């Protein structure tokens, strides 16, 4: 896969259909259900860990002062919650090793 390509929900569902023999509709429903469950957990403030793949982490950032790079004017940046992804060592090894 080139860097410009993107894996889509439909492609994941198609892979499930081919490998597990589920119907295309069932495969897509399974993908949607998993993503929905992950989204709900993150929305409730839970981190999501998928062994062998990685962890979606939530972090609360406090208010801070930023600077407009063009004008140099300082502006307050409001507190917010951010999500990051930390790849597992197994995933890193597969990506670097390929």
- b/e for 64-88, b at 16 or more Cβ within 10 A? eeeeeeeeeeeeeeeeeeeeeeeee
CATH number, domain at 14?
Answer: 4.10.520.10
- Domain region containing 18: 1-44
- Do 52 and 40 belong together in one domain? no
Q: What is the pTM of this model?
A: 0.77
What's the structural domain count of the chain?
2
Q: Are residues 35 and 61 in the same domain?
A: no
Are 7 and 38 contained in the same domain? Answer: yes
pLDDT tens-digit profile, the chain (98 residues): 456 789 999 999 999 999 999 999 999 999 999 999 999 999 999 999 999 999 999 999 999 999 999 999 999 999 999 999 999 999 999 988 76
Cα 56 to Cα 46: distance, rounded to the nearest angstrom = 9
32 and 65, same structural domain?
no
Give the orientation angle of helix 24-43 with respect to helix 9-20, to 10 degrees: 130
For 35-52, the pLDDT digits (tens) are: 999 999 999 999 999 999
């Amino acid at each position: 896969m080139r860097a410009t390509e993107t894996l889509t929900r439909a492609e994941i569902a198609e892979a499930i259909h081919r490998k597990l023999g589920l119907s295309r509709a069932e495969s897509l429903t399974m993908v949607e259900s998993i993503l929905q469950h992950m989204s709900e957990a993150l929305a409730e403030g839970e981190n999501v860990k998928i062994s062998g793949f990685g962890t979606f982490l939530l972090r609360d950032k406090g208010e801070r002062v930023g600077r407009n790079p063009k004008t140099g004017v300082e502006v307050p940046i409001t507190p917010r919650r951010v999500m990051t992804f930390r790849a597992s060592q197994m995933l890193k090894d597969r990506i670097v090793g390929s």
